[in-house]
A and B are shown apart, each in its own frame.
Chain A
Amino acid sequence: DIVMTQSPDSLAVSLGERATINCKSSQSVLYSSNNKNYLAWYQQKPGQSPKLLIDWASTRESGVPDRFSGSGSGTDFTLTISSLQAEDVAVYYCQQHYSAPFTFGPGTKVDV
């Protein structure tokens, strides 16, 4: 099974400042046939269901603010919130959908 780790466990960022979350997979999630990284990022606000932010490591979903960006390839990935807003307070999870079981990272809590 692919193990997903995230760092840090939590972080506090001032409004308007940058937040950076790291995600690492125990093996590559890059599929060589299509050169796609099977890595997604989700946001879960308190009391809500998760929401897909970014797929294929760097493709932002429709309607997701452009302050959210994803980068990385292979085993190392990053979610960046360029200018934190109050509504971004949430737990962020990465997930690999390369190989079953499609494991999630443990989550990173972002606070102000």
Chain B
Amino acid sequence: DVQLVESGGGLIQPGGSLKLTCAASGFTFSNYAMNWVRQAPGKGLEWVSVISGGGDTTFYADPVKGRFTISRDDSKNTVYLQMASLRAEDSAVYYCSKGSQSSRYSSIDYWGPGTLVTVSS
């Protein structure tokens, strides 16, 4: 079975940095794109970033471009989201999610349980 487990969330002050980690299992990790999607409390889903299978291509949502970096380590079946210059509006549950194909132009067929990031002083 596909499993995605996020870690690294927590309380961070505005302007700080945080690195989210997602450990994947149950599928051939290197063959699939991986996404991060976030959801502020009581709000809708917001797509954040994607990295293609193989890691050669990445895309970011405009609000996080230049502040967040997605990366992957296929030897560890792990995807990361490095977040910097955090703002209050970045507070959300961050979901690690698996693309349905290797291409970045894929839907999301599995989601982790999410990790909560709270940016507050």
How many chain-B residues does the 8 Å CB contact rule pick out?
A: 24
Q: Which residue of chain A has its CB nearest to the CB of B99? A: A97
Q: Which residues of B contact A (CB under 8 A)?
A: 35, 37, 44-47, 50, 59-62, 95, 100, 104-114
Interface of A is mostly: loop
Chain B residues near A77: list those with CB within 8 A.
none
Chain B residues near A1: list those with CB within 8 A.
62
How many chain-A residues does the 8 Å CB contact rule pick out?
A: 24
Q: Which residue of chain A has its CB nearest to the CB of B57? A: A100
Q: Which residues of A contact B (CB under 8 A)?
A: 1, 38, 40, 42, 44, 49-52, 55, 61, 91, 93, 95, 97-98, 100-107
User: Please, could you name 13 A-B residue pairs with CB atoms under 8 Å apart, sorted by A?
Assistant: A40-B107, A49-B95, A49-B112, A50-B108, A52-B110, A55-B100, A55-B107, A93-B45, A100-B104, A101-B47, A101-B61, A101-B62, A102-B59
